[in-house]
Structure 1
């Protein structure tokens, strides 16, 4: 037992300071993410589409910045440690600008379904996923075409983009899937962390996405810029793009973000949510 007589005396402002310094409970984080998911499910199709296209366009700066850094660095063992920092740029813009990125929605819109399962909610998730994923692909394809046919960047940078894409396709479909799980898990973890990050959001996004790049994890949207670029420059064909990259990576991202992280995150707070509801 704690002796109350030995406890310090706190003023009302002191108690407020204590509350401000405490980390958010997992159930609170869950509720923040769940409510964001419900808001996304209610958005109009046109809003989802254009936000998704914007994200597909913006995420290309992850590949472009990574290639720019790679083109200015010597070819050494430590080069990826610096060049991979560029991978965070597109994600920082997309997430801070609140654009629609498919892999963020592998957790946000799934939590409402877990809280109240229904065919209506499942249909809304399928609608959102379909619109956002196609929109992300459309944006990524536009940038890939601009890079492939316009060649707007220095020759060394264009060569670096090709090298980054070819490095992606060294992976077998099975490896694309396994590495996609890692990327899906980390993006879902990032979504879970952001409500607590506050003014540290910039650094949190940068760190998590930097790890994705360092680990060579595969991301369906960022990777599609590389895949479409190689397809348009004749280095791979449609079958390789679809079955070698897109389908296994998409499956891995969904497994990592939804099947693993979202379900485990919900499981850890389910009892607390039920108790609060009572």
Structure 2
């Protein structure tokens, strides 16, 4: 009996000590550590490095590759307007219809992003990060080359797509009418208002690019939500909006000067401010000390 009573006091403290040990100090197995690592979201410096390397790869591409990729993006993004028109054509004019038709706006962006085509507003962050990391004349030149080539190619794609929809029987007169009605909003604002309305769109596209590396299987939802908000919020995107502006131009509802001076110029400034001056700079500021 004595030996039995002496045995229990020596065993109890070990259980008490284990129970009192904080959870953060409990050792875990190697497999559990791997599970923790696999389930953790990437830290901001990791995402920064992924996006920066994407930008470096894009700046290193030859001009001909950038041109054809940008042209493909311009053609693809034009399906946003077409999809919106299809939805609007088959929905009754209710107060919630714009919320549903705005889902069509995401179609072109899904094609562009998932196909890795060159879209100008994506490059307002991917190209800027490597320039800020290594501020040199060579990097500035490569970034400027990419911006000019991609933007021109995007416009060439949307110009061709809008002409195709305007002058061929591929699109029915009823559907073309809906496309033109949807497009009218891009020229409904003054110059300064267009700049302001373009800033959130640039910010949202840059945020989308930042979120994609950690999205794993959720890339589609991120693209849809971010671009849906641009359309539903009435914000202005330089490339998708150019397809709408060119539709108005071909229809005679807007002149060339109005399209380029009243839409493209202010919206380009606003998108760059939102994507580069705001999001990209804030992104770099939050990780620059850690990257050093």
**Structure 2 CA distance for aligned equivalents of residues 33 and 75 of structure 1:** 41
**Structure 1 CA distance for aligned equivalents of residues 113 and 23 of structure 2:** 49
C-alpha deviations, 1:199-250, integer Å up to 9, x for none? 1001110110000110111001000101111111111001110111000000
**Structure 1 CA distance for aligned equivalents of residues 169 and 257 of structure 2:** 25
Paired position in structure 2 for 1:246: 264
Describe the SS at the equivalent of 1:250: helix
Distance 1:26 1:5, change over 3 A: closer
**Structure 2 CA distance for aligned equivalents of residues 257 and 118 of structure 1:** 21
Larger Rg: 2
C-alpha deviations, 1:146-204, integer Å up to 9, x for none? 01111422332111101111122112221211111110000000000001001100111
**Structure 2 CA distance for aligned equivalents of residues 151 and 228 of structure 1:** 18
Q: Is the 8 A contact 1:218 1:249 kept in 2?
A: yes
Paired position in structure 2 for 1:188: 206
Paired position in structure 1 for 2:113: 95
Counterparts of 1:155-174 in structure 2, within 5 Å, are 155-174=173-192
- What is the TM-score when the length of structure 2 is the normalising length? 0.91
Counterparts of 1:89-238 in structure 2, within 5 Å, are 89-238=107-256
Paired position in structure 2 for 1:62: 80
**Structure 1 CA distance for aligned equivalents of residues 275 and 169 of structure 2:** 35
Paired position in structure 2 for 1:83: 101
Question: Aligned Cα RMSD in Å?
Answer: 1.3
**Structure 1 CA distance for aligned equivalents of residues 104 and 268 of structure 2:** 23
Paired position in structure 1 for 2:273: 255
Q: Is the 8 A contact 1:151 1:158 kept in 2?
A: no
Q: Which consecutive residues of structure 1, in runs of 5 or more, have no partner in the other structure?
A: none
- What is the TM-score when the length of structure 1 is the normalising length? 0.96
